[in-house]
Structure formats: C-alpha cells, structure tokens
C-alpha cells in the first residue's frame, strides 16, 4: 500500500513545522506543493527527490492516481497552514480515501488563526472564523453580528476595509471597531497592524501594499454574538 503524507507546514517558515512533518519531508522521494512552499523547504529535500509544483487539489490527485500510483516511493504533499483549517487537504483526502491502494497520513500544522492569535496574546476559543475567498461582500454582516471575527483574506485588503468604512458611514458598524491585520506571518518581514475603524485611514500606505494573503481580526463590542 502506498503512503501519502499530507503535511501542514504552517505559514511557510520552516521553524514552525512539527518534527513529525519535517521527518516525512526529509524521507520523501516525491514531494508535491505550490511554488512558495517548495521554495521554503527545498533545502530539506533528498538530493534525488522528484518535485512537482502543483496548486489545485484536482491536479494533485490526478498526478497521484494516474501517473505515480505504481511508483515505489514515499509521497509528501505540502499543505499551507493546518490540514484541518480551510485547507485543500480536505478535498485531497475525499478523493484519495476511495483508493484502496493508498494510505493517508494526515500531519497537522500551525494554522494562521492559532499563530495570529498567539502573536496578539489572545485566545481564539470565542472567535467566529471565516474564509473570505468566494465570500466577498459578506464581511460587514459577519463583523456586525459577531464580537470576534477572524478572517482569511479574500481579495485586496484596501477593498475589504473600504466596505467597513462605508458601513461605519451609515452606522452599521461602530467607529470603535478594533482591527488587527497580519501579513507575511512567520517570516522575517512579518507585519501586524492595529487600528480602530475610526483611525484606519492613518495606515493607508501600509494597507495599499498588502497582499490578498493577509489575515484579519475584528473586535466589535456592540455585536450580539
């Protein structure tokens, strides 16, 4: 039976991966992942490793089931963050679980949620979390309803915050809304911004340069939940 290890590697800094995850990477003959993750861990690969740069779960499962299923090799799939938190791992597992020739090893990692809250010295046990990819336009209703909302980015940071500013103008959101933004988490150039909705315009230069991979925490004391 072929073993396929799905490895949650955290935000991308090799220092944050678990020892178990790193052991699977170092022993793998075939490694699959996106460009950013492969680059981050390239120094830990075997010298004769076969590397496949793929992004979508359909590409990954097709490769395994149709091209390398008969290859005698340890396979590692690098997954950003944690394998159980808004992850492509869920879709990969759903497909590969039906293959009797494959045994899946699911190795969890540090999620952006747990990492970001640790940097803020906060607990996330009462946070409402959402992935805004494919959920554009819903941020205001989430933040208006919940006291603590953690969001994975969904598009340009400037556009997302613009929705909140418009909501403040019509009194849907309070100007006291607290906003925390994290970018390039775990990397040397990691950036974390804190502001209130009232003062967010003071950070416009930083916000303009932020990527869609930023994460957010919104705290609304006037929310019900």
pLDDT tens digit sequence for 83-126: 999 999 999 999 999 889 899 999 999 999 999 999 999 999 99
Cα distance between residue 12 and residue 190, in whole Å: 12
Q: Is the distance from CB of 132 to CB of 139 less than 8 angstroms?
A: yes
Tell which of 110, 129, 158 closes a domain: 110
Backbone angles phi, psi at 37, to 5 degrees: -75, -40
Contacts of 173 (CB under 8 A, 6+ apart): 140, 143, 144, 164, 167, 197, 220
My answer on whether 38 and 52 are in the same domain is yes
- Is residue 139 pLDDT above 70, yes or no? yes
More confident residue, 211 or 59: 59
Question: Is 120 in the same domain as 75?
Answer: no
Last residue within a domain, chosen from 88, 110, 132: 110
Last residue in a domain, options 86, 110, 134: 110
pLDDT digit string, tens, across residues 180-197: 999 999 999 999 999 999
Q: For the chain, how far is it from start to end, CA to CA, in angstroms?
A: 48
pTM assigned to the model: 0.91
224 domain-assigned: no
User: CA of 118: how far to CAs of 122, 130, 133, in Å?
Assistant: 6, 18, 23
What value does the mean pLDDT take over residues 75-84? 96
More confident of the two residues 134 and 160? 160
């Amino acid at each position: 039976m072929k073993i396929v290890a799905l490895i949650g590697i955290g935000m991308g800094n090799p220092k944050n991966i678990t020892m178990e995850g790193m052991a699977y990477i170092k022993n793998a003959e075939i490694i699959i992942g996106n460009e950013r993750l492969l680059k981050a861990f390239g120094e830990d690969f075997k010298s004769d490793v076969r590397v496949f740069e793929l992004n979508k779960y359909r590409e990954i499962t097709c490769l395994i089931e149709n091209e390398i299923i008969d290859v005698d090799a340890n396979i590692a799939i690098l997954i950003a963050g944690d394998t159980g938190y808004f992850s492509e791992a869920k879709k990969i597992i759903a497909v590969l679980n039906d293959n009797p020739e494959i045994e899946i090893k699911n190795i969890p990692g540090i999620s952006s949620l747990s990492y970001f809250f640790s940097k803020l010295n906060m607990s996330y046990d009462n946070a409402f979390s959402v992935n805004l990819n494919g959920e554009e336009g819903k941020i205001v209703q989430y933040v208006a309803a919940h006291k603590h909302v953690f969001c994975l980015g969904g598009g340009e940071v400037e556009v997302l915050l613009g929705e909140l500013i418009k909501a403040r103008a019509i009194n849907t959101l309070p100007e006291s809304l607290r906003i925390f933004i994290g970018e390039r988490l775990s990397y040397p150039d990691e950036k974390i911004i804190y502001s209130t909705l009232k003062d967010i315009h003071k950070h416009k230069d930083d916000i303009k340069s932020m990527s869609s991979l930023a994460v957010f925490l919104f705290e609304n004391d006037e929310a019900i939940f």
